[in-house]
Amino acid sequence: MKKLKKNIASSILRAINSAFAGADTPSEAEIVSMLEYPPDETMGDLAFPCFKLSRALRKAPPVIAAEVAKAFECDGVEKCEVAGGYLNFRISNSYYAALAPRIIAEGGEYGRSHVGDGKTVVLDYSAPNICKPFHIGHLASTVIGHSLKMIHAFSGYNCVGINHLGDWGTQFGKQILAYKLWGDKETVERGGVDELVRLYVKFHAEAENDDSLNTRAREEFTKLEHGDEENTALWRWFVKISLDECNRTYDKLGITFDSYAGESFYTDKMPEQVEKLKESGLLKVDNGASIVDLSEYNMPPCLILKSDGSTLYPTRDIAAAVYRDRTYHFDKCIYVTASQQCLHFAQWFKVVELMGYDFYDKLVHVPYGMVSIDGAKLATRTGNVILIRDLIDAAVEKVAAVIDEKNPDLENREQVAQDVGVGAIVFHYLLNSRIKDTNFIMDDALSFDGSTGPYAQYTYARTCSLIEKAGDIKNANVTVTEPSEAALMKTLSRFEEVVDAALRDYEPSTITRYIIDVCVAFNRFYQDCKILGAENDDVRASRVSLVKATNTVLANALPLICMKTPKKI
RNA sequence: GUCUCCGUAGCUCAGCAGGAUAGAGCGUUCGCCUCCUAAGCGAAAGGCCGGCGGUUCGAAUCCGCCCGGGGACGCCA
């Protein structure tokens, strides 16, 4: 459709020039961006509003439309109608018919763009805190980040996924002390993160009445900072336990990272940046703390060092950005975090710019809205959390029950239940604009009807099943006659521009919404037209081609939103 | 207080680099399995797009003010 739009735009331009010689005309690219999809299918497949041209051409829009229509001619467009100030184009069925074999031939390449060829993008996402439960609040960054990685890779970028672990800080002094006081090896090995959390919670309870514990915890952390052997070993062990827990979820989601360089990794990389800030005169001491004043940019100051000289969140992010620039030479560095951190990112991005780093305009913050349960903030302490593993278990269990009811003979029952259960959750997370707050409701996340993951996977499985039953069909001569066939092909033709939009806006839901459109169009076609039982072999072969084209698009699109593609469900 | 995000059907949300009569899903009511997976398809009902102004040939979409909600705003990350 991108190509067809370009052709139509160029034809429109030609028609304008021949009808209004010598007039001031828009560029082809401008016309492409003016083309739109009419609100109603009956009007046409594409529309060109002529209103904006009326000033330059000094004619009323309907007159322009009529004149352009007279001279308009373009391959793939069978009709060009005037409707008020609009020009409505009807795309020929032969264009759609020709598209199906092209999609099938391109296979995994269909919809792929090359805007990122030769470029590198670093994506920082998920970033769980070590020794903390992995709950539904972390799932947003995880799936949005990974989806953006997939979308970028599909657009040609070389992608580096970084899991910036929260693996450093005074809380590890508390964790170590709690373990030394009340923990034991065996229990932690058996209980994993749950046991670590129990110890941590116990520490806070005990410290309420005994402040000396806080002092001792600080000492433990200081020992860790200075490389104390025992504490380092404990810390490494805690990190491993936490990561093992997260990896179980990442495995189910099909997520891998290229780097796990977390906060601890940058401890020795901050002094250089602090030094640079001092030298450049950007750093000012205020109330004992070292800050960069940003009042000129209408922002509160960015804190670089506490009054005791220790570093802060922005310090680490600056050091990490510099390290990543030197290591990966990125063309973009994307941070997927909750929107609460918007100011923080705006601040340190500005500081990086003031420091003179030329990569400052390659830093991108991609925020998402708050996740709550029953309108209440997620909080480990009050117990208002849902663990990701519990959520996944519930989803998988529910899917398994549906399978037992609808498809008891299914092979790979376990694996399919897993893929569909996880898919339901991921789809639910990536359905809406990322910036919106979400009130997490279990029943909605585990719904299988309507615009849901299972619906998408069900539709995909339908295409697989049809293709399998159709057997080998060679040299199908594709014809598009039924409205539902044309509508399906029109939807499939939009894939490229949907990927572009998702990339431009850092918005995975654009893909999710599109997948629904494809499924709706396909299921309508499926309902309207007999495929395997078509009236003759030609029609049958043609329709199977449409099924194959749909199958290709779904196979390419579903992984972009972290969805698996089981062939049978 | 300042900054910022959000406000569209009973509920959850699309649509927002301005375009034609504002769309889905859930829920409700009613249809469709002797036929390719009914996790499906169709139909009905449901709206002053938070409010008031402005810009424009045209505003759910852009701008201003107001109302309601979330978030951030110096030693957490």
CA distance A355 to A219: 35
- A475 or A298, which is more confident: A298
* pLDDT of amino acid A384: 82
Over residues A536-548, the pLDDT tens digits come to: 999 999 999 999 9
User: Closest nucleotide to residue A311 (Cα to C1')?
Assistant: B75
Cβ proximity of A382 and A415 under 8 Å = no
Do A127 and A224 fall into the same domain? yes
* pLDDT of amino acid A172: 94
Give, as ranges, the nucleotides of chain B with any atom within 7 Å of a protein CB: 3-6, 12-17, 19-27, 35-42, 57-58, 70-77
Do A131 and A188 fall into the same domain? yes
Do A86 and A160 fall into the same domain? no
Do A178 and A325 fall into the same domain? yes
Protein residue with the closest CA to the C1' atom of nucleotide B74: A303
* pLDDT of amino acid A255: 95
Residues facing A376 on adjacent strands: A373
CA of A438 to C1' of B49 (A): 21
CA distance A331 to A334: 10
Residues of the domain holding A329: 120-271+311-373
Do A85 and A223 fall into the same domain? no
A186 token code pair = 């065996």
Number of domains in chain A: 3
Which DSSP letter does residue A507 get? Answer: -
* CATH number assigned to the domain comprising residue A465: 1.10.730.10
CA of A461 to C1' of B17 (A): 37
CA of A341 to C1' of B75 (A): 17
Cβ proximity of A292 and A282 under 8 Å = yes
Do A19 and A137 fall into the same domain? no
Over residues A424-483, the pLDDT tens digits come to: 999 999 999 999 999 999 999 999 999 999 999 999 999 999 999 999 887 789 999 999
Over residues A249-293, the pLDDT tens digits come to: 999 999 999 999 999 999 999 999 999 999 999 999 999 999 999
User: Closest nucleotide to residue A88 (Cα to C1')?
Assistant: B20
Alpha helices (H) in A45-89, listed in sequence order: 53-57, 61-71
| Nearest C-alpha neighbor of A424 from the set A567, A558, A251, A243 | A558
User: Closest nucleotide to residue A310 (Cα to C1')?
Assistant: B75
Looking from the CA of A403 toward its CB, the CA atoms found within 13 Å total: 23
CA of A419 to C1' of B61 (A): 38
Over residues A69-89, the pLDDT tens digits come to: 999 999 999 999 999 999 999
The separation between CA A451 and the C-alpha centre of its own chain, rounded to angstroms, equals 18
**Residue A205: how many other CB atoms lie within 10 Å:** 9
CA of A286 to C1' of B60 (A): 47
Protein residue with the closest CA to the C1' atom of nucleotide B38: A406
Instruction: Kindly state whether residue A401 falls inside one of the protein's structural domains.
Output: no
Can you tell me which residue has the tokens 């789809």? Answer: A427
Do A201 and A345 fall into the same domain? yes
* % pLDDT > 70, chain A: 100
* CATH number assigned to the domain comprising residue A262: 3.40.50.620
User: Closest nucleotide to residue A89 (Cα to C1')?
Assistant: B20
Kindly give, in sequence order, each residue whose CB lies less than 8 Å from that of residue A221, ignoring residues fewer than 6 positions away: A169, A170, A172, A173, A174, A176
Do A354 and A425 fall into the same domain? no
User: Closest nucleotide to residue A528 (Cα to C1')?
Assistant: B41
| Nearest C-alpha neighbor of A447 from the set A415, A416, A420 | A420
CA distance A89 to A78: 8
Do A230 and A364 fall into the same domain? yes
Residues facing A129 on adjacent strands: A166
**Residue A219: how many other CB atoms lie within 10 Å:** 13
* pLDDT of amino acid A479: 95
| Nearest C-alpha neighbor of A546 from the set A565, A525, A527, A528 | A525
**Which residue spans within A413-516 are E strands per DSSP?**
438-440
* pLDDT of amino acid A379: 79
CA of A435 to C1' of B39 (A): 29
- pLDDT score of A385 more than 90: no
Can you tell me which residue has the tokens 């360089």? Answer: A261
Instruction: Kindly state whether residue A213 falls inside one of the protein's structural domains.
Output: yes
CA of A521 to C1' of B46 (A): 24
* pLDDT of amino acid A181: 95
Instruction: Kindly state whether residue A537 falls inside one of the protein's structural domains.
Output: yes
- Crossing angle between the packed helical segments A136-154 and A495-505, to the nearest 10 degrees: 120
Cβ proximity of A446 and A394 under 8 Å = yes
SS3 A446: coil
CA distance A399 to A566: 13
Instruction: Kindly state whether residue A435 falls inside one of the protein's structural domains.
Output: yes
CA of A43 to C1' of B45 (A): 26
User: Closest nucleotide to residue A530 (Cα to C1')?
Assistant: B36
A384 token code pair = 């208002």
Kindly give, in sequence order, each residue whose CB lies less than 8 Å from that of residue A469, ignoring residues fewer than 6 positions away: A532
Do A352 and A416 fall into the same domain? no
Do A441 and A346 fall into the same domain? no
Give the predicted TM-score (pTM) of the model.
Answer: 0.96
Lowest mean pLDDT among A178-182, A373-377, A408-412: A373-377
* pLDDT of amino acid A111: 95
Instruction: Kindly state whether residue A146 falls inside one of the protein's structural domains.
Output: yes
